[in-house]
Chains A and B, each alone.
Chain A
Amino acid sequence: DGGITQSPKYLFRKEGQNVTLSCEQNLNHDAMYWYRQDPGQGLRLIYYSQIVNDFQKGDIAEGYSVSREKKESFPLTVTSAQKNPTAFYLCASSNPGTADYGYTFGSGTRLTVV
């Protein structure tokens, strides 16, 4: 079955440490996205990529970095510059311009600072 796989499900980060969240899709979707979810704030866009080797900052990109070296993969690194990284992170993909356009989401990664 096609879908999006996020790993790990739970991640703990120490102060000053960089961590990377994995996102892989086998849907052959061109676009991929990272969202952050905090209680009472809905989902906020961190970064998105419309095509391989290209990505754009979203609304809350500070303290995060991404890469898109392969169509299937869009990892997110939470750097030490992100002062409040504890949140739920969702990866998504879509195929804009297609008849069945919509977003498919992964099952998320819960990141906690310890």
Chain B
Amino acid sequence: AQTVTQSQPEMSVQEAETVTLSCTYDTSESDYYLFWYKQPPSRQMILVIRQEAYKQQNATENRFSVNFQKAAKSFSLKISDSQLGDAAMYFCAYSPYGGATNKLIFGTGTLLAVQP
């Protein structure tokens, strides 16, 4: 069974600094998607970034980028120039590619605090 592990329950970063959130996953599939979702205090789940496993290039979205290491099954999120609005719970998630199901499997989350 596929699993997603986030080993950092809480992280803290100073405003304008860079922080990296860790995520590892386990799967026997070769094709899949990986996601980072942000959940602010409003509890709305917001897609931060998406990575297709067949793409070697790491995905980037403005200040957010990932370090995707397929062989190591690692998918970390780097937030550059951290802002107060980045404070939230961050979830790493895995989804198989195609097939009969596309359910999203989540890690337990990392609570990020941004210090002014």
Binding site for B on A (CB under 8 A): 31, 33, 35, 40-45, 48, 50, 56, 58, 88, 90, 92, 94, 96-97, 101-105, 107-108
Shortest A9–chain B CB gap in Å is 10
Known: A33-B103, A45-B103, A103-B35. 13 other contacts (CB 8 A): A42-B106, A44-B106, A45-B104, A56-B101, A58-B103, A96-B98, A101-B102, A102-B35, A103-B45, A104-B47, A107-B44, A108-B43, A108-B44
Binding site for A on B (CB under 8 A): 9, 33, 35, 42-45, 47, 50, 91, 95, 98, 100-109
Contact in complex: B102, A96 (CB < 8 Å): yes
In the complex, chain B residues whose CB is within 8 Å of the CB of A50? 100-102
**Which of chain B's residues has its CB closest to A103's CB?**
B104
Considering the chains assembled together, what is the distance between the CA atoms of A56 and B99 in angstroms?
A: 14
Considering the chains assembled together, what is the distance between the CA atoms of A43 and B109 in angstroms?
A: 9
